[in-house]
Amino acid sequence: MINITFPDGAKKEFSKGTTALDISKSISEGLAKKVLAAQINGDVWDVTRPIVSDTALKLLTWEDGEGKNTFWHSSAHLMAEAIEVLFPAVKFWVGPPVENGFYYDVDLGDKKLTDDDLRKIEVKMVELAKKNNDYIRKEISKSEAEDYFKEKGDEYKLDLLQGLEDGAITFYTQGSFTDLCRGPHIPHTGFIKAIKLTNIAGAYWKGDEHNKQLTRIYGVTFPAQKLLDEYLLMLEEAKKRDHRKLGKELSIFTMDDDVGPGLALWLPNGTVIIEELEKLAKETETAQGYKRVVTPHIAKENLYLTSGHLPYYQDSMYPPMELEGVNYYLKAMNCPHHHKIFAAEPKSYKDLPLRLAEYGTCYRYEQSGELFGLMRVRCLHMNDAHIYCTKEQFAQEFRSVNDMYIKYFKIFGIDKYVMRLSLHDPAKLGQKYVDEPELWIETEMMVREVMREADIPFIEVQDEGAFYGPKIDVQIWSTIGREFTLATNQVDFAQGRRFKLEYTNQNNDTETPLIIHRAPLGTHERFIGFLLEHYAGKFPVWLAPVQVKILPISDKFIDYSKSILERLKKLDIRAEIDDRSEKIGKKIRDTELMRVPYMLVVGEKEVSENKVSVRRQGKGDMGSRPVDEFIHEVLIEAKERLG
Ligand SMILES: [Zn+2]
Ligand SMILES: [Zn+2]
């Protein structure tokens, strides 16, 4: 018998040679139909592979990232099978899963694939999927594997084989198709219920432009037709909500070639949003005892040698500029500057926790091919802060930071989010991670406990920690279900020492503080890019660049409109008058297009009754009401930051 330990800690005995599929069947038949793969002591396995020793087991379904990856990778095999049936001369390179689906790089000789061909491959995939063919794993010797692909004439797979060690080589076969693959795969093709091939692109073999160009075919598959329908709908909606398109239509930001790629220029409308976000951050941080600081955009080379950004992070920094014989760098992060502020005056335990906040401007060198609207830029404004605290204060501080994230999620109507606790890998201490094994374990434990106590849902990921400590990565989903990486909340037990940061404790001994790096609102660039999609440009009143637009039916009512405008302005409500000589219908349509939350239509009747006719973005006519009443309502909506 062997012991199987489940993720909740429960243990159960099974006979040696049992499989994850057997185990899931013993739990329920329903579960067995959903299990795509299994995590065995951290590695992902086929569910049909015999388990021969005590094991920590996690059954993976569509809901798990690894389950999804296995599903999509198996779909790449299915696509390869279909391609081979239709184009027997095809040769295959690699077919991995990607963020949304999978691809396979293939060599089709002179054949140029058309959209029509894609549809044919799709139809063939559907037909093959229905055969419920098992993905069969076979261990094979290197020479046998070589013989197989020599006979097949596939030099790409032979090239892959060269890098593999004899004894660790496996083939997977489903239906008529055999691939060299490490696995794992889903049990059989019948799991793949909905298929869409999305794109054809060119891809140089091994990413080298001197090599032959292969054809990369992208696809996405799902275990149910409904999921594919939802996905396609989401894509369509995402296109409409593209932040680059909306950013232009709503005059939020622009890019200019003379300024440079990746350097956003914020137009007045975008700047209003920036200032409202900063106001929110400042209010929240002040209430939690943060202090604000201001630091320069550049610093001497030495500072970044101390922090370790040089040389490790050099590729992501702008090249240095020389001044008076010294190299200066644009700052890629605010931390070193804040550490110097901590060090500027002697500190005692009574000064801690010290929370230093700044909307800091950072510059990062992203390759031009990687730049993407506001999502990947070279100049960014970060909702940054560093908390310097004692070990005893750590849990409380870390919890407050998490609370701040949750508070913001509520304000912005972010209902779906996941926190990922990224841990170190003991095998990589001294290389990828600071060589402090005990501190790693201790801080990881502290973070884990805080998350558990606060009852925040989180997952743990091995080998993704920061260089200097464990971190929480936050993923959020927009209203249309697209995922964004927001920001991290990081523990740092190394930088304090590198910068020789010290405080005197109660016993008059010097100690190094722990540091928390946090940026719940991420950068203005990425967050506003997210918000544009999330709200489809229809910002809530408190964020809307123009909150109220007054639309006089004719020039006769401009004076009355101006009197309302003055009252709104005095109360800091962002309002404008559309005084063009256009028909009221056109004024309404144009204002709708700019997604202004409130329109006040003003004519004869409104003037005589001292009222306004209110139209709400997306809701239409709300009837007329006294001016005072409207002002009162809009003020509350803005002040309370109602969504
Ligand atoms: Zn495979
Ligand atoms: Zn930092």
Rounded to the nearest angstrom, the distance between the alpha carbon of 489 and the centre of ligand 2 is 9
How far does residue 529's CA lie from ligand 1's centre (Å)?
36
Distance 135 CA to ligand 1 centre (A): 9
Who contacts 167 (Cβ-Cβ below 8 Å, separation ≥6)?
141, 142
Q: How far is the CA of 360 from the centre of ligand 2 (A)?
A: 10
pLDDT category, 618, cuts 50, 70, 90?
confident
- In tens, the pLDDT along 290-316 reads 999 999 999 999 999 999 888 888 889
Question: How many angstroms is it from 458 CA to the middle of ligand 2?
Answer: 22
pLDDT of residue 305: 94
User: Would you state the pLDDT for residue 311?
Assistant: 81
Amino acid 124: pLDDT: 98
CA–CA separation, 332 vs 167, rounded Å? 46
Find out whether 573 and 588 touch, Cβ atoms under 8 Å.
Answer: no
Instruction: Identify which of 566, 632, 547 has the alpha carbon closest to the alpha carbon of residue 276.
Output: 547
* Mean pLDDT value of segment 363-388: 94
The Cα–Cα gap between 66 and 551 comes to 54
Closest ligand (CA of 186): 1
**Can you give the pTM of this predicted structure?**
0.84
Mean pLDDT, the chain, whole residue set: 94
Q: Tell which wins on pLDDT, 613 or 65.
A: 613
Distance 113 CA to ligand 1 centre (A): 23
pLDDT in tens, 475-502: 999 988 888 988 789 999 889 999 999 9
pLDDT band at 541 (very low <50, low <70, confident <90, very high): very high
Between CA 343 and CA 282 the distance in angstroms is 24
Highest mean pLDDT, choosing among 303-317, 338-352, 424-438, 456-470 = 338-352
CA of 143 to the centre of ligand 1 (A): 20
Ligand 1 center from residue 200 Cα (angstroms) = 20
pLDDT at 26: 94
Query: Rounded to the nearest whole angstrom, what is the distance from the C-alpha of residue 369 to the centroid of ligand 1?
Result: 29
pLDDT at residue 99 greater than cutoff 90: no
456 band by pLDDT with thresholds 50, 70 and 90: confident
Ligand in nearest proximity to the CA of 72: 1
Helix (H, G, I), strand (E, B) or coil at 537: coil
d(CA 510, CA 496): 12
pLDDT in tens, 20-42: 999 999 999 999 999 999 999 88
Give me the pLDDT at residue 544, please.
98
86 Cα to the center of ligand 1, angstroms: 20
The average pLDDT across 588-602 equals 96
116-129: per-residue pLDDT in tens? 999 999 999 999 99
Q: In angstroms, what is the span from residue 79 Cα to ligand 1's centroid?
A: 11
Has residue 577 got a pLDDT over 80?
A: yes
Distance 428 CA to ligand 2 centre (A): 22
Model confidence at 87: pLDDT above 90? yes
Q: Tell me how far the alpha carbon of residue 631 lies from the centroid of ligand 1, in angstroms.
A: 63
What local confidence, expressed as pLDDT, does residue 17 receive? 95
Task: Say which ligand is closest to the CA of 360.
Answer: 2
Label residues 135-144 b or e (16+ Cβ within 10 Å = b): bebeebeeee
Dist. CA 269 → ligand 1 center (Å): 49
Residue for token pair 């998490």: 402
Cα(495) to centroid of ligand 2, in Å? Answer: 10
Question: pLDDT digits over 213-228, tens only?
Answer: 999 999 999 999 999 9
* Structural tokens at position 179: 């691939």
Whether the upstream peptide bond of residue 261 has omega within 30° of 0, thus cis, is: no
Q: What are phi and psi of 200, to 5 degrees?
A: -120, 135
Distance from residue 71's CA to the centre of ligand 1 (Å): 10
Return the bridge partners of 173, or none.
136, 178
Residue 73: name the closest of 86, 60, 88 by CA: 60
> How much is the pLDDT for 413?
95
For the CA of 333, the nearest ligand: 2
User: For 227-243, how does the pLDDT look when each residue is reduced to its tens digit (9 = 90+)?
Assistant: 999 999 999 999 999 99
Q: Which ligand is nearest to the CA of 495?
A: 2
Report how far ligand 1's centroid is from the alpha carbon of 62 (Å): 17
**Phi, psi (rounded to 5 degrees) for 585:** -60, -40
